[in-house]
Structure 1
Amino acid sequence: MNKLTPKAAFRKLAAIYTRMSDQYVKAADAMNLSCEGCTSNCCLTFFQHHTYIEWAYLWHGLNQLDESVRQTIVERAGDYVEQARLAFAKGERPHVMCPLNLGDEGQGRCGLYEHRLMICRMHGVPNFLTRPDGRKVEFPGCWKCQELSAAMREAGREPVAVDRTPLYADLAKLEMAFVGRKLRNLPRVDHTIAEMIVLGPPKF
């Protein structure tokens, strides 16, 4: 497989994101799920991300921001990493606002909404993943989704769940095409968005 240029790889990644968005909307509309009136915030959920291409795409977006905004995000990312470290030291799961959420008291929209990563895009609706060994891993969605799902089942209806297996398969292929043969020898990506920001663009 020929190694892709960043421009070509990002175009293909955006196409995968568009497919994901279409499926998300279908699942959300089936249960009338929306973020309106939600008392929680998905940006407080602790997520780790696992691809170099999404890491690079994140920085592609960061580099399009005004310097002052980008610097604010970098500073918030540093604070996030430290707060997460302290939480883990106490045996707790971090519950810290994502540095990309620039609204007052965490109620704003993602500062890199068009460049947000796959896991951020999937959070909310029911979805599942079939592993290479055939085991099915299910994700129930956010708390609001779970309440709506329970109500649907009581009424004899099954919520629409997004099969993210083909999306992940295509992302894995794209990762290989983007990074190239070096991928097998590189450290596994296992970072929060904050860590990806603090560490800078990926190097490979």
Structure 2
Amino acid sequence: MHRTPRERLHELFTKVDAFFASASARHGERMACRTGCSDCCRRRFSVTSIEADAIREALAALPEADRAALAERARAGDPGVCPALDGEGRCAIYAARPLICRTHGLPIRFAPASERALPVIDACPKNFVGEDLHAVEASSVLDQTTLSTVLAALDMAHADAAGQPRGQRVAIAAVLSGEG
């Protein structure tokens, strides 16, 4: 059975969400990520074209008043805050949130800019406070290079199927405002 890039994106999201839930259950209070904590949402960012399409689909399912409120926040809101963030610190597009939002807070292994440096592990500064992140068991650490590679492959397949250029990124504010 051939799955579409969007179906595979949903599978990736499901796996990452399960990984996050497992890490949260395993580490309990060592991870401060909870509903209403929105520190990681205090910026504006871009998403891949496949993620933008998933967000557009989720937006289409919202009531018109909610879509209009999101579009207004995207156009006129605080430029240092994700426009999907509502007044109670909740994400208005939580089910369709992009990969970066699904992984934020977890220990993430990534390669530093220098090719000769060893991989670095980082996490939200509210999580694993006072601990050496390199001591966190490997089963609780996501590999950023692997995730980025999988997402890029899905995005390329999505772009090819849609006849669009590969590698395009879209500001989340543009998606929410209907301008991108």
TM-score, normalised with respect to structure 1: 0.69
Matched residue type, 1:65? L
Is the contact made by 1:55 and 1:196 (CA closer than 8 Å) also made in structure 2? yes
Equivalents in 2 of 1:61, 1:143: separation in Å? 30
Q: Is the 8 A contact 2:84 2:176 kept in 1?
A: no
The residue number in structure 1 matching 2:102 is 121
Distance 1:36 1:48, change over 3 A: closer
Q: CA deviation at 1:142?
A: 1.6
Cα RMSD (Å) of the superposition? 3.3
1:101 aligns with 2:99: no
Alignment correspondent of 1:158? 136
Letter in 1 for 2:176: I
Alpha-carbon separation, structure 2, partners of 1:170 and 1:60: 21
TM-aligned CA distance change 1:175 to 1:20, over 3 Å: same
Residues 137 and 70 (structure 1), Cα distance of their counterparts in 2 relative to 1, 3 Å cut: farther
DSSP 3-state at the match of 2:150? helix
Distance 1:77 1:37, change over 3 A: closer
List aligned pairs for 1:131-150, cutoff 5 A.
138=120, 140-147=122-129, 150=130
Give the TM-score normalised by the residue count of structure 2: 0.77
Q: Supply the distance in 2 between the matched residues of 1:173 and 1:23 (Cα, whole angstroms).
A: 21
2:45 to 35, 48, 55: 48
Whether the 8 Å contact between 1:123 and 1:141 is mirrored in structure 2 is yes
Larger Rg over CA atoms: 1
Quick check: 1:124–1:145 contact (8 Å CA) kept in 2? yes
Q: In the aligned structure 1, how far is the partner of 2:174 from the partner of 2:118?
A: 29
Deviation (angstroms), 1:108: 4.3
Amino acid at match of 1:72: A
% identity of equivalent residues: 25
Mapped contact 1:20–1:167 kept (Cα < 8 A): no
Task: Provide, for residues 131-185 of structure 1, a one-character-per-residue CA deviation record: whole Å limited to 9, x for no partner.
Answer: 8x686664522222141xx24x49x95353211332222211111111116424x
The answer to whether the aligner puts 1:11 opposite 2:11 as a matched pair is no
**Cα distance in structure 1, aligned partners of 2:55 and 2:35:** 28
Does structure 2 retain, via aligned residues, the 8 Å contact 1:47–1:119? no
**Residues 182 and 122 (structure 1 numbering): CA distance in 2 closer, same or farther, change over 3 Å?**
same
Q: Which of 17, 21, 26 is the matching residue for 2:22?
A: 26
Matched, 1:66 2:63: yes
Amino acid at match of 1:74: A
The letter of the residue matching 2:157 is A
Query: 1:134 & 1:119 partners in 2: Cα distance?
Result: 26
Residues 35 and 158 (structure 1), Cα distance of their counterparts in 2 relative to 1, 3 Å cut:
closer
Provide the C-alpha distance between the structure 2 equivalents of 1:136 and 1:113, rounded to a whole number of angstroms.
Answer: 34
**CA distance in 2: counterparts of 1:167 and 1:36, whole angstroms:** 23
Amino acid in the other structure paired with 2:84: L
- Cα shift at 1:129: 3.0
Long gaps (5+) in structure 2: none
